[in-house]
Amino acid sequence: MSELPEAKLPLVTPVRVICAVLLAAPFVALLWVGSYSTPTPAFVGIPFFYWYQLLWVVLSALMTGGAYVLFTREEKQRKALRVARGGDQA
């Protein structure tokens, strides 16, 4: 009797989509220069153009860290599922 092929794990998952959005958001926000190329509102004497970009340095680090945590957590779950199915042990 022939065995049914095991279903493969999907490559695109909601967690991976969230990771992609977290990694793409800083690019979109900073490449759309027209949205922040104004001197006002100033923050402690620093024009908006500069403090907006500096704010994104911190936000980008947080978003990249969040994407890393989500992705590694999902990869551990996928590896455990593969091992439980008796597949790839690595």
Any residues with CB less than 8 A from the CB of 53 and at least 6 apart, and which? 30, 36
pLDDT of residue 10: 83
User: Please, are residues 80 and 8 in contact by the beta-carbon 8 Å criterion?
Assistant: no
Q: How far is the C-alpha of 20 from the C-alpha of 18, rounded, in Å? A: 5
d(CA 76, CA 78): 5
Q: What pLDDT, on the 0 to 100 scale, is given for residue 87? A: 65
Residue 72 has what pLDDT? 97
Beta-bridge partners for 46 = 43
What residues in the chain have per-residue pLDDT under 70? 1-7, 87-90
The structure's pTM equals 0.78
